[in-house]
Amino acid sequence: MPEQNSPKGAFIQRDKETYAIVPRTPVGLVTPELLEKIAGVARKYDIPIIKITSAQRMALVGMKPEVVDNVWEDLGTGIGPAVEKCVHYVQACPGTTVCKFGVLDSLNLGLRLEKLLVGFELPAKTKIGVSGCPFNCGEGFVRDIGVFGKRSGWTFIFGGNSGGRPRIGDILAEGLSDDQVVELAQKCLNYYKENAKNLERTARFIQRIGLEEFKKAVLG
């Protein structure tokens, strides 16, 4: 959790003096205007580091606490959760918007999930990856929720994790529509919220309660 006296949406760095923030950039899409604003605040407030994260976001690192509110005001974006116990982000590959291999629209579904779920409070941080084809560039098998497209519809994965104790997520359903993905994602997260221990990631939760038990609860 953020330190009690942290400025809005900011988290302290290892120097114990400066803070970082992550502007909300849904599914990693940015505009020239946003990039100009980010460059502008970096110059104006002497922010020394802009780091592209593994989550397709940009962390602005190394700012004094007293400038954080002004930086947010100048940026005009939402806050990207980075340390809170909630859905942090949805990453998505370009899918049918750009990629020649894409069979389904991963950006559109990713944006829908992002809008609906980012910030949703849960027992631990949670991440979502959406891909437009079975190549899975959106890394859904190692995200808490993963989705990838096939000609027959979306395949839905739950309980994956990268990091120090990686786990390949389990396929819960196939051939889903956009609406069915959204509905199943909500069911899975609600059940996880009600039944997981504090700070228990989805991967550990599924290992503890068992996949069949989870499937029974969310698939009926």
The nearest distance, CB 108 to ligand SF4, in angstroms, is: 13
Which region, judged by CB under 6 A, interacts with ligand SF4, from 54-62, 89-97, 114-122, 189-197?
89-97
Q: Is 91 in the site for ligand SF4 (CB under 6 A)?
A: no
Candidates 39-47, 80-88, 132-140, 150-158 — which segment interacts with ligand SF4 by CB under 6 A?
Answer: 132-140
Q: At what angle do helices 106-117 and 178-195 cross, to 10 degrees?
A: 40
- Nearest-5° Cα angle at 167, 138 to 179: 45
3-state class (DSSP) for residue 191: helix
CB of 201 to ligand SF4, least distance (A): 24
Q: Determine the interface stretch with ligand SF4 among 10-18, 77-85, 97-105, 190-198 (rule: CB under 6 A).
A: 97-105
Least distance from ligand SF4 to the Cβ atom of residue 150, Å: 11
Q: In sequence order, what are the beta bridge partners of 158?
A: 145, 170
Cβ atoms 59, 81 nearer than 8 A: no
Strand, helix or coil for residue 187: helix
Piece of 68-76, 116-124, 133-141, 156-164 that binds ligand SF4 (CB under 6 A): 133-141
> Coil, strand, or helix at residue 203?
helix
The H or E element containing residue 107 is helix 106-117
Which of 24, 65, 101, 209 is in the footprint of ligand SF4 by CB under 6 A? 101
Across the strands, what pairs with 129? 91, 146
Determine, following the binding rule CB under 6 A, whether residue 136 of this chain makes contact with ligand SF4: yes
Residue 140 interacts with ligand SF4 (CB under 6 A)?
no
Contact call for residues 154 and 148 (beta carbons, < 8 A) = yes
Binding test (CB under 6 A) with ligand SF4, winner from 94, 129, 140, 146? 94
Interface ranges with ligand SF4 (CB under 6 A): 93-95, 99, 101-102, 106, 131-133, 135-137
